[in-house]
Chain A
Amino acid sequence: MGSLRVGLRSVLPFLVGVPILWLLNGRLPEYLEYGLMVALIDVILAVSLNVVNGFTGQFSLGHAGFMAVGAYTATKITLAMRGVALLGLPAGLSDQVVFLGALVAGMITAAAIGFLVGMPSLRLRGDYLAIVTLGFNEIIRVIIENTPFLGQATGISGLPRRTNLVWVGAGAIATIVMARRLLGSTHGRALLAIREDEVAAEAMGVDTTGYKVRAFVISSAFAGLAGGLLVHLIQLCTPKSFTFIKSIEVVVMVVLGGMGSITGSVIAALGLRGAVEYLREAQQYRMVVYSVLLIVLMLTRPTGIFGTRELWDWLPKFQLPGRRRADEGGHP
Chain B
Amino acid sequence: MTEFLQHLVNGLSVGTIYALIALGYTMVYGVLKLINFAHGDVYMVGAFAGFYLSHALGIDENPSLAKAGVVFVGSMAICATLGVVIERFAYRPLRHRPRLTALITAIGVSFLLEYGFQLPAVVGAGSGTPFPPGPTPRFFPEPFPRVDYEPLGVHISNYDVVSLLTAIGLMFALQYIVYRTKFGTSMRAVSFDSSVAGLMGINVNRVITWTFALGSALAAAAAVLVAGSRPTINPLMGLFPGIKAFVAAVFGGIGNVPGAMVGGLVLGLAEEYVAGYALSSYRDGIAFALLILVLLFKPTGLFGATRAEKV
Residues of A near any B CB (own CB < 8 A): 59, 120-121, 124-128, 130-132, 134-136, 138-139, 142-143, 145-146, 199, 248, 251-252, 255, 284-285, 287-288, 290-295, 298-299, 302
Most B CB contacts (10 A, CB to CB) among A139, A287, A291 go to: A291
- B residues 75-133 in Cβ contact with A at 8 Å: 90, 93-94, 97-105, 107-112, 114-116, 118-120
Residue of A nearest to B240 (CB): A138
Of A132, A146, A291, the contact of B282 (CB 8 Å cutoff):
A146
Cβ–Cβ < 8 Å partners of A136 in chain B = 288, 292
Q: Which residues of A contact B115 (CB under 8 A)?
A: 284, 287-288, 290-291
Task: Identify the closest chain A residue to B289 (Cβ).
Answer: A139
Bound together, the chains give a CA A293 to CA B112 distance in angstroms of 10
Q: Which residues of A contact B220 (CB under 8 A)?
A: none
List the B side residues contacting A120 at CB < 8 Å.
295-296
Q: 20 interchain pairs (CB within 8 A)?
A: A127-B35, A127-B99, A128-B295, A130-B103, A131-B295, A134-B243, A135-B288, A139-B289, A139-B292, A199-B311, A284-B120, A285-B119, A288-B112, A291-B108, A294-B105, A294-B107, A295-B112, A298-B108, A299-B94, A302-B104
B137 lies within 8 A of chain A by Cβ: no
Interface residues of B, count at CB 8 A: 44
B105/A139 in contact, CB under 8 A: no
Contact A298 B292 (CB under 8 A): no
* In the complex, chain A residues whose CB is within 8 Å of the CB of B68: none
Given contacts A59-B100, A145-B281, A299-B94, whether A135 and B299 have CB atoms under 8 Å apart is: no
CB neighbours (8 Å) of A128 from chain B are 295, 299
Closest chain A residue to B291, Cβ basis = A135
| Contacts known (A138-B243, A139-B289); A299 close to B295, Cβ less than 8 A | no
A255 to B98, CA, bound (A): 13
- In addition to A139-B292, A142-B282, A299-B90, 20 A-B residue pairs with Cβ atoms within 8 Å of each other are A59-B103, A124-B299, A127-B99, A128-B295, A131-B250, A135-B288, A139-B289, A142-B284, A146-B285, A248-B107, A255-B104, A284-B120, A287-B111, A288-B111, A288-B112, A288-B116, A291-B110, A294-B111, A299-B94, A302-B104
Q: Is B213 an interface residue (CB 8 A)?
A: no
Is A126 within 8 A of B99, CB to CB?
A: yes
B247 at the interface (CB under 8 A from A): yes
Contacts of A292 on B, CB cut-off 8 Å?
108, 112
Give the secondary structure class of B's interface.
helix
Which residues from B are CB-within-8-Å of A294?
104-105, 107-108, 111
Residues of A within 8 Å of B279, CB to CB, are 146
Kindly provide the distance from the CB of B248 to the nearest chain A CB, expressed in whole angstroms: 12
Return chain B residues, CB-CB under 8 Å to A293: 108
Helix, strand, loop or mixed for chain A's interface? helix
Q: How far, in whole Å, are A305 and B309 apart by their CA atoms in the complex?
A: 32
Chain B interfacial positions (CB closer than 8 Å to A): 33, 35, 90, 93-94, 97-105, 107-112, 114-116, 118-120, 243, 246-247, 250, 279, 281-282, 284-285, 288-289, 291-292, 295-296, 299, 309, 311
B101 touches A302 (CB 8 A): yes
Chain B proximity of A204: nearest CB distance (Å): 14
Q: How far is the CA of A121 from the CA of B291 in the complex (A)?
A: 11
A59-B103, A131-B250, A302-B97 known; A124 and B111 CB under 8 Å? Answer: no
Cα-based distance from A134 to B144 in the complex (angstroms): 39
CB distance from A1 to the nearest CB of B (A): 48
Tell me how far the C-beta of A240 lies from the nearest C-beta in chain B, rounded to whole angstroms: 14
Residues of B within 8 A of A251 (CB): 104, 107
Whole-angstrom distance between the Cβ of A181 and the nearest chain B Cβ: 26
A138→B284 contact, CB < 8 A: yes
Report the bound CA distance from A134 to B287 in whole Å: 12
Give Cα A121–Cα B292 distance, bound, in whole angstroms. 9
A138 to chain B, nearest CB (A): 5
In the assembled complex, the Cα of A319 lies from the Cα of B35 at a distance in Å of 39
Q: Which residues from A are CB-within-8-Å of B102?
A: 298
Given A132-B291, A139-B289, A288-B119, verify A299-B103 contact (CB < 8 Å). no
Instruction: Note all chain B residues with C-beta closer than 8 A to A295.
Output: 90, 105, 108-109, 112
B178 to chain A, nearest CB (A): 22
Q: Are A291 and B112 in contact (CB under 8 A)?
A: yes
